[in-house]
Amino acid sequence: MTTEIDKYLPLTESTFFILLSLSAGKKHGYAIMKDVEQLSSGRLSLGTGTLYGALGRLLDQNWIERIEERQYTGRPRKVYTLSELGCRILSAETSRLQEQLGAAQQRLAQGLL
């Protein structure tokens, strides 16, 4: 069954991991970069240009939101959070990936074992 969310899938690996990072709670850019690297077991290392380009696109699409968080010293820090739409897209992509993994595991079990 196709839903309105399906038109956004599949996600790129970087988009998937950025949304996944933000699913744990609000984060600033550097924290997202470090979390994505850890979540991907070091396979995906986002540079600042790539990250902030992706964040800008995700903001424009309303998949994430930006919050200015006041700090005790210095300028307000830009913090990002997952929007309701972004959460639905991440959930749909996760389900899609689980279905693919299940099909692959079933096929490999039939053919190789």
At residue 101, does pLDDT exceed 80? yes
The residue whose two tokens read 């899609």 is: 96
What is the number of alpha carbons within 13 Å of residue 21 lying toward its C-beta? 27
For residue range 44-67, what is the model confidence (pLDDT) as tens digits? 999 999 999 999 999 999 999 999
The domain locations on the chain are 10-112
Query: The whole model's pTM is what?
Result: 0.90
Averaged confidence pLDDT in the chain: 93
Closest CA to 94 of 30, 32, 10, 35: 10
Neighbouring residues of 50: CB distance < 8 A, sequence distance ≥ 6: 14
At residue 10, does pLDDT exceed 60? yes
Percent of the chain residues past pLDDT 90, beyond the cut: 82
C-alpha–C-alpha distance, residues 64 and 56, integer Å: 9
**Spatial contact of 65 and 83, defined as CB atoms under 8 Å apart:** yes
C-alpha–C-alpha distance, residues 11 and 17, integer Å: 9
CATH code of the domain occupying 10-112: 1.10.10.10
pLDDT at position 1 is 57
C-alpha–C-alpha distance, residues 15 and 58, integer Å: 8
